[in-house]
Amino acid sequence: MNRKVYGKLIFELSREGRRGYAVPRSGLTADDVENKPTLPEGMRRSAPLNLPEVDEPTAVRHYNNMSTNNFGVDTGFYPLGSCTMKYNPKINEEMAAHSCFAGLHPSTPAFAAQGALELYWTLQKSLCEIGGMEEFTLNPFAGAQGELTGLMVIRAYHASRGEGEKRRKVIVPDSAHGTNPASAAVCGLEVVEVKSREDGTVDVADLEPLLDDSVAAIMLTNPNTLGIFEKDIPRIASLVHQAGALMYYDGANLNPLLGVARPGDMGFDVMHVNLHKTFSTPHGGGGPGSGPVGVRKGLEKFLPNPRVVRRTETPEGFPVKDTDRYAIEYSPISLGSVSATLGNFAVQARALAYILTLGSDGLMDAGKLATLNATYIKESLKDCYLLPIEGLSKHEFVFDGLRDKSTGVTTLNIAKRLLDHGYHAPTIYFPLLFHESLMIEPTETESRETLDEFIAAMRDIAREAAEDPETVKTAPHLTPVTRPDDTTAALNPILTFDNL
């Protein structure tokens, strides 16, 4: 780590007695405090608190300098495959931060939160239209939680037909995102892998013998994690349905399909979407997220509670009052609750702002441009980077490292060297189908100039790998933190200043 550029820790800047501000005295005497212990003895700390003591300018400068050492979509191009790091328009932030939304308590009664409930309901309906589904819940807090919720819907469906105990298997392709088998396992189901063909799509011949009455569902991503559209999807859907199982669509990366194709029309029964990818919420580092789940007609009764419904008239047939139009309901047949609230409201607000500002034509452009941008980069670089699967791909694609393997320069080295050129690294070593996977997803929000500059940087690195491989192998050289020892950091993390 380059400590000179990176700066010191706030603890190293600490000087005893320094204060940023003075809190007004409370008026309580020491005796008052002494006589009012609120915590039981065993829970009170006796050792002094080791907090940094700094003046206000030192604290402000320290954290501002730290923030400029970070990388985000607002500072540069971020082609992190499978993560859809698109630029997030600031208007979405303004909408989500509006005091009428941001100040709302989760337990506000429905009559006083009609605007927020209308937002939830409108987003539900928009996602139904985009995904070709009958109903959506916005309650899950992440893509993975959406997967689990969707699989719980599938279990509830089979149980309702008396097949809950029999149908315990979930088929997952070998190219699947790791959360798919993990969610199936958390849901108490058994994971069965189906192989990919040479062209990266699901091998239907391998799938057919796996399908029997022990299968609950197949989970597919389409375009798959290689960015390739599963052209056999109608055949797969028909085989799966004939076996009595359901089709689950992992729509974490719905971007290329926007306005172009709908999972519901492809034969999928249950799907989730990552609002924090396709529908523009700044994400990374674990949050914030939202993984709405959509279902085809007939499955909506199993969706989790609570639900938001829109009423046009009272049970007696009178028009409803404005304060009663949107209501929160709990269905007795539901699989239960997957969240204490109606999900991550600020992410939902951003998503609806994004959908409404783009409109249906704009959304359609987003999907097509995401594919065009990825294809432009792929075609411009495939003479120096190894493209393991030729042919059409969509919003992302995977190189298997450099074409010239003789230099010993790995995908990790290329990713690190890109940081010196001012780009966030692409996703590396995923999917697991190739040894040197380098997965690039530019998204639709980048200009032709940005794409050309990135292509030039990638070509520079390929040339450098041939002429001066050591420089690439020891990169990055220009970042505040150079090359930490990833393995030691993972195996022996030192997380506190005291242990440094």
Q: In sequence order, what are the residues at sequence separation of 6 or more whose Cβ sits closer than 8 angstroms to the Cβ of residue 287?
A: 142, 276
Shortest Å distance, C-beta 224 to ligand PLP: 9
Nearer to ligand PLP, 142 or 462 (CB): 142
Nearer to ligand PLP, 141 or 454 (CB): 141
Burial of 403 (0-12, 13-18, 19+ CB in 10 A): middle
How many other CB atoms are there within 10 angstroms of residue 109's CB atom? 9
Dig out the tokens for 99 from the structure: 């005091």
Nearer to ligand PLP, 113 or 172 (CB): 172
Dig out the tokens for 93 from the structure: 């932030």
Shortest Å distance, C-beta 449 to ligand PLP: 28
Distance CA 271, CA 144 (A): 12
Distance CA 12, CA 54 (A): 10
Shortest Å distance, C-beta 184 to ligand PLP: 12
Shortest Å distance, C-beta 328 to ligand PLP: 25
Shortest Å distance, C-beta 294 to ligand PLP: 15
Nearer to ligand PLP, 124 or 274 (CB): 274
Nearer to ligand PLP, 230 or 420 (CB): 230
Distance CA 127, CA 333 (A): 23
Beta bridge partner(s), residue 307: 329
Shortest Å distance, C-beta 225 to ligand PLP: 6
Shortest Å distance, C-beta 142 to ligand PLP: 4
Nearer to ligand PLP, 113 or 138 (CB): 138
Q: What is the bridge-based pairing of β-strands 246-251 and 215-220? A: parallel
Shortest Å distance, C-beta 277 to ligand PLP: 7
Residue among 495, 138, 464, 459 at smallest CA distance from 328: 138
Nearer to ligand PLP, 420 or 441 (CB): 441
Dig out the tokens for 474 from the structure: 């020891």
Q: Which residue is nearest to ligand PLP (CB)?
A: 143
Shortest Å distance, C-beta 180 to ligand PLP: 7
Distance CA 201, CA 197 (A): 6
Nearer to ligand PLP, 82 or 443 (CB): 82
- Confirm if 493 and 13 have CB atoms less than 8 A apart: no
Shortest Å distance, C-beta 174 to ligand PLP: 14
Nearer to ligand PLP, 89 or 288 (CB): 288
Contact set with ligand PLP (CB under 6 A): 82-83, 142-144, 177, 179, 221, 250, 252-253, 274, 289, 291
Shortest Å distance, C-beta 239 to ligand PLP: 22
Nearer to ligand PLP, 142 or 171 (CB): 142
Beta bridge partner(s), residue 305: 337
Please report, for residues 92, 122, 124, 283, 313, the alpha-carbon distance to residue 357 in angstroms, rounded to integers and kept in the order given.
9, 14, 17, 20, 30
Nearer to ligand PLP, 221 or 280 (CB): 221
